[in-house]
């Protein structure tokens, strides 16, 4: 009879397994298996009954110890079987904002044909600085089917983040054993700056007054031109004052909102200040710059961006929004000596189509024009 190397066998049973085919990319599965606090109390109770049975010699106590140990072992095996062969998939959203919960759909597939899975908990594996949070609980995953549920993924700051994967846990059936499987999958995601619900003004408005450019016709409030009335034009389009002046029916054409342009100007170089509160104000200023960008684009305003080292010309659309937000997510704050002359960008511009944002030792200062654009609706987070 061939000899069995026990150490080699244990190593083969406990080593990390690679399971391809999940949508989490190239993943590695590692396992953990240990009693819970309730399990240790149950085991301690069994041990005390075993001591009582040994000292007293009662067969009923021996029988009770055997039943308890059998239940303890069976529950451990059921916890192992509960996670066996389960696969998890998830889809990350295209836009993630700092300090803002984002719904992420996760699907758990049970390919087994015999046993359902119960009480499955999945959570994001914490990264180095604990900047990523997310957890979901699935009470049942039927055999041969899949279960899906949304959970809230939250990142604490802007910039790049590493997602190490998911941890799948179960304490089925009675919570005496915890079986967990770590699905390792290295993924990076970019978190945009936080978007505030409303503008910081008391009436939740953003002040802007810029010159219109372009000839696109829309439903704005600023007059673009007149033309002769044509069959099919609504009666409300008729400009009666100009009709009386020219002695012919004319209709008024108005500027499209995208004909308005604005520049979001962010100060990124400051004299060195002591303390962490100023850095918090700088991050808040970056968030206000992102908020102004998103709100103006939602209102149809062509938005540009400028700081001491970068300039993005005004444009509109989702791709342009992501371009500005990506720059704001990765922008680095520079520090200068007190003797260094301020950059020309740091001085307030007299142009009314510029929203100027800078951090101060006491908070954030924002200067804009005098034309109100309501930003109360369409908040992201």
Residue 353: the pLDDT is 73
Q: How far apart are CA 350 and CA 114, in angstroms?
A: 74
Predicted confidence band of residue 305 (pLDDT cuts 50, 70, 90): very high
Confidence of residue 327 (pLDDT cuts 50, 70, 90): very high
* All domains in the chain, ordered by first residue: 6-192 (2.60.40.10), 205-210+261-374 (no CATH), 217-255 (no CATH)
Q: Could you say which DSSP state residue 112 is in?
A: -
Q: What are phi and psi of 240, to 5 degrees?
A: -70, -35
Q: How far apart are CA 35 and CA 17, in angstroms?
A: 22
Q: What is the dihedral of CA 287, 348, 369, 351, to 10 degrees?
A: -120
Confidence of residue 170 (pLDDT cuts 50, 70, 90): confident
Res 140 pLDDT > 80: yes
Residue 29 burial (CB count, 10 A):
17
For residues 59, 60, 64, 66, the Cα torsion angle rounded to the nearest 10 degrees is: 30
Return the percentage of the chain with pLDDT > 90, whole number: 7
Residue 308 has pLDDT above 50, yes or no: yes
Q: Can you read off the two tokens belonging to residue 220?
A: 């704005």
Whole-angstrom Cα distance, residue 238 to residue 245? Answer: 13
Task: Choose the weakest-confidence range: 215-224, 299-308, 310-319, 334-343.
Answer: 215-224
Structure tokens at 9: 């066998």
> Among candidates 216, 177, 144, which has minimal Cα distance to 75?
177
- The model's pTM: 0.65
Res 253: pLDDT: 66
């Amino acid at each position: 009879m061939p000899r069995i190397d026990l150490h080699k066998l244990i190593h083969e049973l406990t080593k990390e397994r690679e399971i391809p085919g999940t949508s989490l990319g190239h993943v590695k599965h590692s396992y953990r298996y240990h009693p819970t606090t309730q399990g240790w109390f149950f085991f301690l109770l069994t041990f005390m009954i075993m001591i009582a049975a040994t000292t007293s010699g009662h067969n009923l106590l021996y029988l009770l110890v055997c039943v308890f140990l059998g239940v303890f072992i069976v529950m451990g095996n059921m916890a192992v079987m509960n996670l066996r062969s389960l696969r998890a998939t998830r889809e990350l959203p295209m836009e993630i904002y700092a300090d803002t919960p984002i719904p992420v759909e996760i699907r758990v597939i049970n390919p087994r044909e015999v046993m359902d899975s119960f009480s499955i908990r999945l959570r994001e594996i914490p990264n180095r600085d604990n900047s990523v949070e997310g957890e979901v609980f699935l009470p049942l995953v039927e055999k041969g089917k899949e279960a899906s549920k949304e959970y809230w993924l939250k990142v604490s700051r802007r910039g790049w983040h590493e997602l190490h994967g998911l941890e799948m846990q179960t304490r089925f059936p009675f919570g005496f054993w915890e079986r967990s499987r770590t699905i390792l999958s290295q993924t990076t995601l970019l978190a945009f700056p936080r978007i505030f619900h409303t503008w910081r003004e008391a009436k939740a408005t953003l002040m802007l007054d810029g010159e219109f450019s372009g000839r696109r016709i829309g439903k704005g409030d600023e007059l673009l031109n007149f033309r002769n009335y044509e069959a099919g034009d609504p009666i409300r389009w008729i400009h009666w004052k100009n009709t009386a002046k020219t002695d012919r029916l004319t209709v008024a054409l108005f500027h499209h909102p995208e004909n308005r342009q604005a520049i979001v100007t962010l100060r990124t170089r400051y004299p060195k200040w002591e303390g962490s509160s100023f850095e918090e104000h700088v991050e808040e200023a970056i968030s206000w710059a992102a908020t102004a960008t998103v709100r103006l684009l939602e209102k149809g305003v062509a938005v540009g961006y400028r700081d001491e080292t970068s300039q993005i010309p005004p444009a509109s659309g989702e791709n342009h929004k992501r371009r500005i937000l990506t720059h704001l997510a990765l922008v680095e704050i520079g520090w200068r000596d007190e003797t260094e002359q301020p950059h020309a960008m740091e001085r307030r511009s007299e142009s009314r189509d510029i929203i100027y944002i800078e951090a101060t030792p006491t908070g954030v200062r924002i200067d804009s024009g005098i034309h109100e654009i309501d930003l109360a609706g369409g908040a992201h987070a």
